[in-house]
Amino acid sequence: MAVKVVRRPELTFWEKLYLPQIFCGMKITSRHFFKNLFLHIAHLFGRLQHIPAAATIQYPEELRPLMSRYRSRHRLTRRDDGSPRCVGCMLCETVCPARCITIVPDEHPDPDVEKFPVRFDIDLGMCVYCGYCVEVCPEDAIRMDTGILDLAAYSREAMQLDIHELLDPELRKPVAACDLEFPHQCSVHGGEMKGGWEGTAVTPSS
């Protein structure tokens, strides 16, 4: 394979002098500053509104408006009784190009539902935000409409969302308590199965 040699550009005499370049930079900065100052004052008096001025958004106190189809952090939608809409068909796990979804299904007591997820994890450290999981879901059980963009974490484990965080987007790790009532493999309780279908809205048909 041919190698293309890219030379580092040599500094000219004027550039090597340093100070003239500083003045050049200051000139550009001041031009923008005074231009925006003038335009913002003009906008205050209702003038020159067809010319936009630079705006600053005070993130994270203030958020930029997101497009309605923007793909942000995932969530699992719920039925009326609070259990996940997911039927454990594993189509999202299958279609996921990053293989960041882990589902373990089990038999649902209601034969019309067939199955449900006892485990549903998404590893955000691996997710590529392609949105295929949302597109493929036959039950509208997973959506990427939480508007959550700040996904930073101190560890890889904290990037792995389990069913608690996916059902309740407000939750952040560490999840202190588990209030989910359907059976699931609960990370709060050390991976044990927790919850049951008894007493919930689901009644096995005779």
Judged by CB under 8 A, does residue 85 bind another protein?
Answer: no
**Is residue 155 packed enough to be buried (19+ CB in 10 Å), middle (13-18) or exposed (0-12)?**
exposed
In this structure, how many other beta carbons lie within 10 angstroms of the beta carbon of residue 162?
22
Distance set, CA 137 to CA 95, 141, 168 (Å):
10, 7, 19
**Residue among 143, 169, 141 nearest 69 (CA):** 143
Closer by beta carbon to another protein, 104 or else 151: 104
Q: Exactly one of 21, 94, 146, 203 binds another protein (CB under 8 A); which one?
A: 94
Q: Shortest Cβ distance from residue 103 to another protein (Å)? A: 8
Closer by beta carbon to another protein, 105 or else 183: 105
Closer by beta carbon to another protein, 106 or else 181: 106
In this structure, how many other beta carbons lie within 10 angstroms of the beta carbon of residue 67?
6
Q: Exactly one of 91, 96, 159, 161 binds another protein (CB under 8 A); which one?
A: 91
Q: 19 to 58, contacts with another protein by CB under 8 A?
A: none
Closer by beta carbon to another protein, 73 or else 119: 119
Closer by beta carbon to another protein, 101 or else 169: 101
User: Who's near 150: CB < 8 A, 6+ residues apart?
Assistant: 60
- Interatomic CA distance for residues 158 and 191, integer angstroms: 16
Closer by beta carbon to another protein, 39 or else 90: 90
Q: 131 to 160, contacts with another protein by CB under 8 A?
A: 138-139
Q: Shortest Cβ distance from residue 52 to another protein (Å)? A: 48
Q: 97 to 136, contacts with another protein by CB under 8 A?
A: 102, 104-107, 111-115, 119
With CB under 8 A, what is the number of residues at the site for another protein? 19
Q: Exactly one of 88, 162, 183, 184 binds another protein (CB under 8 A); which one?
A: 88
Beta strands in the chain (DSSP E): 75-76, 101-107, 115-123, 142-143, 160-161, 184-186, 192-194
- Interatomic CA distance for residues 203 and 86, integer angstroms: 18
* Interface residue list for another protein (CB under 8 A): 87-91, 94, 102, 104-107, 111-115, 119, 138-139
